[in-house]
Amino acid sequence: MALIELDGIERIFTLGDSQVHALQSVSLRIEAGEYLSVMGPSGSGKSTLLNLLGLLDRPNAGHYRLEGRDVTTLDANEQAALRRERIGFVFQSFHLVPRLSAAENIALPLMLAGLPVAERHTRVAAALHDFGLEGRAGHRPDQLSGGQRQRVAIARATIMRPALLLADEPTGNLDRATGQEVTRLLEELNAGGVTLIVVTHDPAMGERAHRRIRMEDGRIVGDLRRGVPPAG
Amino acid sequence: MHTADTLRFATRAAAGNLLRTALMVLAMAIGVAAVVVLTALGDGARRYVVGEFGALGSNLIIVLPGRSETGGINPGSFVTATPRDLTVEDAEALLRSPWVARIAPLSVGSGEISTGGRLREVTVVGTSADFTVVRQLDVAAGSFLPREDLRRSTNVAVIGATIQRELFGVEPAVGRLVRIGDRRFRVIGVMAAAGQGLGMNTDEMVIVPVGAALAIFDTNTLFRILVEARDRGALEAAKADIAEIIRSRHAGEEDVTLLTQDAVLATFDRILATLTLAVAGIAAISLAVAGILVMNVMLVSVTQRTAEIGLLKALGAEPRTIRRVFLAEAALLSLAGGLAGLALGHGGAALLRLAWPVLPAWPPDWAVAAGLGTALVTGVLFGVLPARRAARLDPVQALGKK
C-alpha cells in the first residue's frame, strides 16, 4: 500500500472573474519512506500541491488517499486529527509562536493532542537533545539564530512522530552553511523512515532527493528517480 | 486540548501584549467599579433614610389633617388641602381607644426667642408631656413639659441644645426667662443633643405646651398628632379606632391621613431601591461598552495572530480548539477586569464612607455579583464573534500572512 495516492486532482482558484488552474489532473503515488523534491517555477502549483498533501486545502476534483484511506471527504475535525497524528510541517519562515519558548513551541502539537504533561516533558527533552537545542529550551524565537529556529520548527514537526514530513522551502531563509545543516537534519529523519517531501527553488537541494518531481502550470512534467530505491 | 492548557495558552497570549491587555482590563474595571460605587451610593442613601425613619419609634402613627386618596404616602400626603381643622380636642379624643397608649399633639411654626439682648429665629413646637416618650427623646437638664390639660397654656419652655449654647453659652438655662413672640416663658429644661429626625432638628427647637403654641400662632389647627399604639400588633386596630373617632367628630368625614412608620419606611425603601437599580442599570451600560471594546480588541488580535492561527491549524488544532482559546482569552480579560473593578469599586465606596461618615455606602451583594456577572457575560458574548472568525480562517491563507 502506498502512503500517498493522488488520482486526477484538480484545484481551481477563482481570482476576480478569471479562473486559475493551480493543479490539473495531477496523479501521483508516493511510497512510505520516500524522499521527494518538488521543483518548478513560481506559480507552477508546488505549494498548492504541498497544501493539498498536508490536508490544509481540498481539491475541486479527484481523490487523495493517505495510507489507503480517502481523505478528500473527511470533515474539518477528522482532517485536523490526521494533521496532528500523521503529518508534520516545516515552513520557510519557521512559524514559531513568538511569545513561547523553544520548548513550548516544540510541545505545541503534544498539547493540542492532549498528551499528559509528564509525557510531554520527556518527549520535548528528548527532542531538544536530538536537535542539539538543550541550552536553548527557555529561549524565545527572537533569541535564537535562524538555524536554531528551523531546528525548533523541525523538532516541533516531528515530535508526534508523523509518517509524512512536508517542507516548504525549509532553507529559503537560511544562509548556505545553515541550510546544509538543516537539509542534513531532514535527510537523517528520512533515513529514520519518515517520508520527506521538500518543495524548493534551490536546485542543489532538489538534486539531493531520491525522486524529483518537476511541475509547470499545475501539471507534473517530470518525475525522475535515482536508480537506488530509497532506504527504508 | 486540555482545559488547563487552553487557559494557560490564553493567559500567555494575553500577557504577550501587555498594553492591549491593560487597556481592556481598565475599560472593564471602570464599568464594574461604576456599578459598585453607584449602587453603594444608592443603597447607602436608602439605608440612611430607613435609619432616619427608624429613629421615630416603631409603634408610631402620624395623623395628618386632610385626606390622601391613595394608600401609602405620596408627595400629596404632605401638602393636602385641609377640609376641617385637626384640634386639640381631636387629639384628646384619640385617647379613648384602648389601643392608643399615648398621644402628642404637634403645632409647629417659626418664632423669635430672645433673652438678655440676644435674639434668634427658632422653630417653635407646641406639644405635650408625652412627646419625649413618643419620639424617644431625652432631656439633658431640668425637666420636660408638665403633664397638664392640653388647653392650658403654661408659660414654660424646653429648649434645644443649640439654642442653649447660643443664648446662654455655658451658663445653665434652666430657670431663666426668655421671650417668645410677645410672651414670656420660663425655661424648665434643655433637650439632649439628638440631631436630625424626620426633617426636624430638635437641637434648634423650642418646645412649649401646645396651648401656648396655638396662642402664639393665633390658630386652632394642629400640624399633626403623633399617636403611639400599645404595641406593634395593635397598629392596625389603633388606626381603625383613630379613623372611627375622627369620623365621628368630623361629621362623618374621614378627613385625616394616617401614616405609620412601616408605610413610610416601605415607600422610601421601595423608591430608593428602585433608584439604586436604575443607577446600576446606567452603570451597566458602560459594561456593554466595555464588552464592545473586548470584541474590537479580540478582532484586532485575531488579525494580528492570523499566522499563529494558521500554524495551530497546520499542527492539527480543530476549529473547536481555536474557538476555545480565543473565548478563554476574552473571558480571562473580562474576569481580570471584573476583579480589578471590584477592588476599585470597593475602594471608591470606602472613600465615600470616609468623606460622608453618615452615609453607609456599602455596595449591596447583588450589585457586586451582577457587576461581575455582567462583565463576564459581555466579555464572553462579545468574544464569540472574534473566536468564530479565528476558527474559520483558511489555514493556507493564514499561513501565508506574516
List chain A domain ranges.
33-58+74-225
Same domain for B40 and B144? no
Q: Single out the residue in B254, B286, B303 at which a domain terminates.
A: B254
| A105 contact B CB<8A | no
Pick the more confident residue, B233 or B104: B104
| B135 contact A CB<8A | no
The answer to whether position B241 is within a domain reads yes
User: Which of A80, A93, A160 has its CB closest to that of B317?
Assistant: A80
**Closest by CA position to B62, among listed B202, B219, B229:** B229
* pLDDT tens figures, B16-65: 888 889 988 998 999 899 989 999 998 898 888 877 776 666 688 888 88
Round the average pLDDT of chain A to a whole number and report it. Answer: 92
Chain A residues within 8 A of B399 when measuring between CB atoms: 56, 91, 95
User: Above pLDDT 90, what percent of chain B?
Assistant: 28
Same domain for B215 and B288? no
Q: What's the mean pLDDT in B336-340? A: 93
| B2 contact A CB<8A | yes
The answer to whether position B261 is within a domain reads no
Cα separation values, B12 from A12, A115, B16, B325, B332, Å? 39, 19, 6, 11, 11
Same domain for B164 and B209? yes
* pLDDT tens figures, A157-174: 999 999 999 999 999 999
Residue B133: per-residue pLDDT: 84
AA identity, residue B72:
G
Same domain for B109 and B241? yes
Domain assignment of residue B362, given as a range: 3-52+273-400
AA identity, residue B80:
T
The answer to whether position B206 is within a domain reads yes
Does B314 contact A89 at a Cβ distance shorter than 8 Å?
yes
The answer to whether position B394 is within a domain reads yes
Does A112 contact B15 at a Cβ distance shorter than 8 Å?
no
The grid cell for B182 is: 410677645
The answer to whether position B209 is within a domain reads yes
Give me the number of domains chain B comprises. 2
User: Which of A56, A80, A108 has its CB closest to that of B318?
Assistant: A80
Same domain for B215 and B125? yes
Angle at B304 between CA B298 and CA B307, to 5 degrees: 120
- If one counts every other C-beta atom within 10 angstroms of the C-beta of residue B308, the result is 24
Residue A162: per-residue pLDDT: 95
Per-residue pLDDT band for A8 (boundaries 50, 70, 90) equals very high
Q: In a mutagenesis test of the A interface, which of B11, B301, B315, B324 is the best target, namely the one with the most A β-carbons within 10 Å?
A: B315
Residue B170: per-residue pLDDT: 84
Per-residue pLDDT band for A232 (boundaries 50, 70, 90) equals very low
Same domain for B282 and B243? no
Same domain for B121 and B246? yes
Q: In a mutagenesis test of the B interface, which of A47, A48, A50, A83 is the best target, namely the one with the most B β-carbons within 10 Å?
A: A83
Q: What's the mean pLDDT in A174-200? A: 93
Q: What's the mean pLDDT in A120-149? A: 94
Lowest-confidence segment of B8-12, B254-258, B261-265 by average pLDDT: B261-265
Residue B195: per-residue pLDDT: 59
Same domain for B31 and B121? no
Same domain for B228 and B90? yes
Pick the more confident residue, A227 or A107: A107
Pick the more confident residue, B268 or A129: A129
Same domain for B33 and B179? no
User: Which of A76, A91, A109 has its CB closest to that of B319?
Assistant: A76
CATH (one of 3.30.230.10, 3.40.50.620, 3.40.350.10, 3.40.50.300) for A33-58+74-225: 3.40.50.300
Same domain for B334 and B193? no
| B109 contact A CB<8A | no
Same domain for B38 and B148? no
The pairing of beta strand A164-168 with beta strand A195-199: parallel
Q: Single out the residue in B195, B227, B254 at which a domain terminates.
A: B254
Rounded to the nearest angstrom, the minimum Cα separation between A203 and chain B is 23
Angle at B154 between CA B152 and CA B158, to 5 degrees: 125
**Closest by CA position to B127, among listed B224, B202, B250, B36:** B224
Chain A residues within 8 A of B319 when measuring between CB atoms: 76-77, 80
Exposure letters A11-36 (e unless 16+ CB within 10 A, then b): beeeeeeeeeebbeebebebebbbbb
Q: Single out the residue in B190, B223, B254 at which a domain terminates.
A: B254
For residue B80, give every residue at least 6 positions away whose Cβ sits within 8 Å of its Cβ, in sequence order, or none.
B64, B65, B66, B67, B68, B257
Residue B389 contacts residue B302 (beta carbons within 8 Å)? yes
Look-up: residue for cell 513568538? A98
For residue B225, give every residue at least 6 positions away whose Cβ sits within 8 Å of its Cβ, in sequence order, or none.
B62, B63, B86, B90, B91, B94, B103, B104, B105, B106
* pLDDT tens figures, A77-129: 999 999 999 999 999 999 999 999 999 999 999 999 999 999 999 999 999 99
Cα separation values, B164 from A156, A200, B20, B144, B268, Å? 89, 103, 64, 15, 34
